[in-house]
Amino acid sequence: MRVWSFFLMAFLFAWNVAAQDGMEMRHLVRQGAIALGVNPLTASARNAFYEARGFTVAAIRPYAEACGFSFGMQNATDRAMRTSLSDWHAIGADGARIAFTLPEAWDAQWERAGVPAAARIAFKWAQFQTNNAFEPGDWIMGMATLKGVPKAPFRLVARYQDNRGDHELVLDKLECARD
């Protein structure tokens, strides 16, 4: 009984801390000291976030309605690593491979739509960047969207490189978030 109580308290404490930080992730994969957290994001959550930063509902709609995630990636190794979002993709239950829309493509759309500069700056830095470099101890968060909606449940493949070569992290049984 004591063991159960200990784990239950640890769980509740951990959950509370993570929730307070606003950094909880629903899916997690680790490879040694590399960790990737993935949180599917609803359209309403993204609408609210970007409307508060200067987007109109109409402007942000295509982004908010795309299948999107918040990523958090940490490098707790003693060597540098890097990622390229163009190497990441989803594989739907039907086997179809779907790439990510790069932040630069969204920004070109915002420019054409006349989105205010401050809103574009917030958008740019809220994304998981096209290219990320992680020094030892670094961790980076950001949002990203897929170019299409994979048939659920789908697999996410996230690649990274370090001085030992190419590696990939795989998360299964994902679904796009719905309101």
Partner 1 sequence: MNSFSTNWNAPVTDRRRFIVGLGLLAAFPCVWAQGRGMAALPAVSPAPTLRLKDADDKMIDLAQYKGRVVLINFWATWCPPCRKEFPSLGRVRKLFKPGEFEVIAVNVGEDPDAVFSFTGITDFPVVFDRDSKTMGAWSVRGLPTTFLVDRQGRLAYRATGGREFDDPEIVNLIKAMR
Would you say 34 and 28 are in contact if contact means Cβ atoms under 8 Å apart? no
DSSP letter at 175 equals: -
Asked if residue 114 lies in contact with residue 173, where contact means CB atoms within 8 angstroms, the answer is no
Q: Which residues bind partner 1 (CB under 8 A)?
A: 3, 7-8, 10-11, 13-15, 17-18, 21-31, 35, 37, 49, 52-53, 72, 74, 76, 80, 117-118, 121-122, 124-126, 129, 131-142, 165-173
In angstroms, rounded to a whole number, what is the distance separating the alpha carbons of residues 131 and 33?
20
CB of 36 to partner 1, least distance (A): 9
Nearer to partner 1 among residue 93 and residue 118 (C-beta): 118
Closer of 23 and 149 to partner 1 (Cβ):
23
Q: What's the Cα-to-Cα distance from 163 to each of 32, 128, 166, rounded to whole Å?
A: 15, 22, 9
User: One-letter amino acid identity for 84?
Assistant: S
Closer residue to partner 1 in complex, CB, 116/148: 116
Residue 73 CB, nearest approach to partner 1 (Å): 9
Nearer to partner 1, 132 or 145 (CB): 132
Task: Please provide residue 82's backbone torsions phi and psi, each rounded to the nearest 5 degrees.
Answer: -145, 155
